[in-house]
Amino acid sequence: MGAGTETFYDVIRRQGITRRSFHKFCSLTATSLGLGPLAATNIANALETKPRVPVIWMHGLECTCCSESFIRSAHPLVKDAVLSMISLDYDDTIMAAAGHQAEAILEETRAKYKGQYILAVEGNPPLNEDGMYCIDGGKPFVEKLKLMADDAMAVIAWGACASWGCVQAAKPNPTQAVPIDKVITNKPIIKVPGCPPIAEVMTGVVTFVTTFGKLPELDRQGRPKMFYSQRIHDKCYRRPHFDAGQFVEEWDDDAARKGYCLYKMGCKGPTTYNACSTVRWNGGVSFPIQSGHGCIGCSEDGFWDQGGFYDRLTTIKQFGVEANADKIGQTAAVVVGGAIVAHAGVTVVRNMARRSKENSTDNSRSNGKSAG
Amino acid sequence: MTSAIEYAAALEALYRRIGERSMHDLPIYNEALAVEAVGFDAHDDAISGILITPWFMNLMLLPLDGSLAARALGSSFSHGFPVGMFDFTVGDIEGVGRIASCSLFSPMFEFADMAAARATAAAAMAEIRNPEPEQPKTRVVAALDRRSFLRGALTEPRP
């Protein structure tokens, strides 16, 4: 846990990583962020010249699944990259320091890097009984959270807990757990929902913020557009079966074996904004639907209170349209008049085409015209 | 060889049947809409067009070189249009065989009536084939422009 004055490049060179590998890493990162080849140069430049950004990673009411996901990121490789890219000054789960020594780091970072460090929050604060349901280092977590947020440059809300509340805020919510944007109101917050979020999405967000020194473009709900602009349904490989009305009717029926659409088995893909169907999990190996189970909608607000995981979606009308008024892939507003209608068509085409174009710039070299 | 009109008609008939058989009683079915193919035409050795149904609006693609048959079910590939690249997912439908689709809208509750859906599809198709020029960007440097390369202007200006 070093000071934040060395650059990422200094650190990896010291670890014996070659310059060639470094540049390879930069282009991989650019690709995973959906940026063009020129961005790789910018990333390399930033990582060579900018001092590492100090990161304070705090844990409230949570299950540590975000940390578990994060440390399994396949690319950028966490081992070599992210833990070197940032200066992870405080993370009570994976740091060596403990007790008073650990608490001192918080104070030190706050004083030394005022307005320069990133506060990453996993979990959320409970407000009932003055916050006594989550005591951290002898103080209510909510107080420490507010204190650390005051001097942070930006705040990252990891996972459904910090973003929306998740299971600890599910009805009847006895501890009055709230998402962090209810207590941090003076700082920009990047919400990275999911239970847990996809590892590559997490490292992608960290990479973006640390290399470009600014927040990625966010939607109206505060999520990075580069990863949360499309629904699972939009890019699902089982989508042709949905279109053709071919559904799994019962677990392990013939249709299930054929890999038909899981909508009738409660799949929440049509209402869930996440990158699972494109980025996938475990280094791109698979994702829930590919393993034969519907999406449970874990990155959506209040997913624990949206009915059972196996209940068929019946309220798409309200859910899909109202809950996601700001979409870039598909327009959400109800299309009524002629001019608006035409605009919706043009918008959807432009956004989709542009996205593909950016991705294909990088893929084309290795994969030719067609990927997959 | 299939003509664009025949392909559009085949898809319409097929999805109309699917609608009646499996979709009409599901909550994702917008009863104000019907199945209709919009703007199907052959360009650059592929038939493309937009298919509207009460449960989705997709850009459909049929490469005329027969390459679709060799592609794996559920795989995806990209295809270039004047406006840019689109990713298509490969499916297999009884009666038509391999199809390639790219989702534009689903579910379809954004659309109050068929006229709205039709106008959206027509506008989308026009944009795909004849994109309106976007606002000119400042200093566009082509990735492999020889003159820029010799000037050392390959990269974007650093911030």
pLDDT in tens, A132-174: 999 998 999 999 999 999 999 999 999 999 999 999 999 999 9
Asked if A156 and A190 touch (Cβ cutoff 8 Å), the reply is: yes
Amino acid at A369: K
Contact A342 B120 (CB under 8 A): yes
Strands (E), B28-117: 36-43, 46-52, 57-63, 76-81, 84-93, 97-105
Bridge partners (DSSP) of residue A192 are A158
DSSP for A84-125? HHEEEEEETTT-S--HHHHHHHHHHHHHHTTTT-EEEEESB-
Per-residue b or e along A190-203, where b marks 16 or more CB atoms closer than 10 Å to that residue's CB: bbbbbbbbbbbbbb
Q: Report the Cα A350 to chain-centroid distance in Å.
A: 24
Give the pLDDT band (50/70/90) at residue A82.
Answer: low
By DSSP bridging, strand A118-122 and strand A135-136 are unpaired
Q: Please tell me the predicted confidence (pLDDT) of residue A356.
A: 47
Residue recorded with tokens 């089982």:
A238
DSSP for A331-358? --SPB-SHHHHHHHHHHHHHHHHHHHHH
Asked if A236 and A289 touch (Cβ cutoff 8 Å), the reply is: yes
A274: closest CA of chain B, how far (Å): 16
Asked if B106 and A332 touch (Cβ cutoff 8 Å), the reply is: no
Q: Please tell me the predicted confidence (pLDDT) of residue A361.
A: 38
CB contact residues (below 8 A), chain A span 93-152, against chain B: none
A361 interfacial to chain B (CB closer than 8 Å) = yes
Distance CA B122, CA B129 (A): 11
All residues of chain A having their beta carbon less than 8 Å from the beta carbon of residue B102 are 352
CB contact residues (below 8 A), chain A span 1-30, against chain B: none
Bridge partners (DSSP) of residue B36 are B52
Contact A343 B123 (CB under 8 A): yes
All residues of chain B having their beta carbon less than 8 Å from the beta carbon of residue A317 are 27, 107, 109
> First CA to last CA across chain B, in angstroms?
54
Query: How many pairs of residues across A and B have Cβ atoms under 8 Å apart?
Result: 173
Distance CA A38, CA A36 (A): 6
A38 interfacial to chain B (CB closer than 8 Å) = yes
Nearest-by-CA chain B residue for A333: B110
Asked if B7 and B47 touch (Cβ cutoff 8 Å), the reply is: yes
> How many Cβ atoms from other residues are within 10 Å of residue A1's Cβ?
14
Contact B18 A245 (CB under 8 A): yes
All residues of chain B having their beta carbon less than 8 Å from the beta carbon of residue A333 are 110
Q: Which residues 6+ apart lie within 8 Å of A270 measured at CB? A: A231, A232, A233, A263, A313, A316, A320, B28, B106, B107
Contact A233 B53 (CB under 8 A): no
Tokens of A215: 């927040």
Distance CA A252, CA A11 (A): 51
Integer-rounded Cα radius of gyration of chain B: 19
A137: closest CA of chain B, how far (Å): 42
Q: Please tell me the predicted confidence (pLDDT) of residue A148.
A: 95
Residue A323 confidence (pLDDT) above 60:
no
Q: Where is B73: in which H helix or E strand?
A: none
Q: Which of A76-80, A85-89, A319-323 has the lowest mean pLDDT?
A: A319-323
Nearest-by-CA chain B residue for A362: B143
ipTM of the complex: 0.83
Q: Please tell me the predicted confidence (pLDDT) of residue A370.
A: 39
Q: Please tell me the predicted confidence (pLDDT) of residue A10.
A: 85
Give the pLDDT band (50/70/90) at residue A336.
Answer: very low
What is the percent of chain A with per-residue pLDDT over 90, rounded to a whole number? 49
- Report the length, in residues, of chain A: 372
Q: Please tell me the predicted confidence (pLDDT) of residue A233.
A: 94
Cα torsion for A6, A12, A16, A17, to the nearest 10°? -150
- Of A324, A330, A326, the closest CA to residue A345 belongs to A330
What is the percent of chain A with per-residue pLDDT over 70, rounded to a whole number? 83
**What average pLDDT does chain A have?**
83
> Which of B19, B87, B143 shows the shortest C-beta gap to A356?
B87
3-class state of residue A157 by DSSP: strand
> Which of A245, A314, A335 shows the shortest C-beta gap to B110?
A335
Domain boundaries, chain A: 1-51, 52-228, 231-312, 327-359
Residue A178 confidence (pLDDT) above 50:
yes
Which burial class, exposed, middle or buried, applies to A186 when counting CB atoms under 10 A from its CB (0-12, 13-18, 19+)? exposed
A338: closest CA of chain B, how far (Å): 7
- One fold for A52-228 and A231-312: no
Parts of chain B with a pLDDT under 70: 1, 134-149, 151-159
Q: What is the pLDDT of residues A265-320, one digit of tens each?
A: 999 999 899 999 988 998 889 999 999 999 999 999 988 998 889 988 876 553 33
Q: What is the pLDDT of residues A24-38, one digit of tens each?
A: 878 877 877 777 778
- What chain B holds in terms of domains, given with CATH numbers, is 4-129 (3.30.1460.40)
Q: Please tell me the predicted confidence (pLDDT) of residue A156.
A: 96
> Which of B18, B109, B128 shows the shortest C-beta gap to A244?
B18
Nearest-by-CA chain A residue for B103: A234
> Which of B77, B93, B123 shows the shortest C-beta gap to A370?
B77
Distance CA A198, CA A264 (A): 25
A314 interfacial to chain B (CB closer than 8 Å) = yes
Distance CA A328, CA A354 (A): 11
B125: closest CA of chain A, how far (Å): 8
Q: Please tell me the predicted confidence (pLDDT) of residue B40.
A: 95
A234 interfacial to chain B (CB closer than 8 Å) = yes
Q: What is the pLDDT of residues A7-27, one digit of tens each?
A: 888 887 887 778 888 888 788
Half-sphere exposure of A124 (CA within 13 A, CB side): 29
Domain A52-228: which topology? Answer: Rossmann fold (3.40.50)
Per-residue b or e along A91-118, where b marks 16 or more CB atoms closer than 10 Å to that residue's CB: bbeeeeeeeeeebebbeebbeebeeebb
A336: closest CA of chain B, how far (Å): 6
Q: Which residues 6+ apart lie within 8 Å of A312 measured at CB? A: A263, A264, A265, A266, B27
Domain A231-312: which topology? Answer: Cytochrome-c3 Hydrogenase; Chain A, domain 2 (4.10.480)
> How many Cβ atoms from other residues are within 10 Å of residue A284's Cβ?
13
A342 interfacial to chain B (CB closer than 8 Å) = yes
Q: What is the pLDDT of residues A84-133, one digit of tens each?
A: 777 888 888 888 888 899 999 999 999 999 999 999 999 999 999 999 99
Q: Which of A352, A354, A360 to mutate to test the interface with B (most CBs of B within 10 A)?
A: A352
All residues of chain A having their beta carbon less than 8 Å from the beta carbon of residue B123 are 341-346
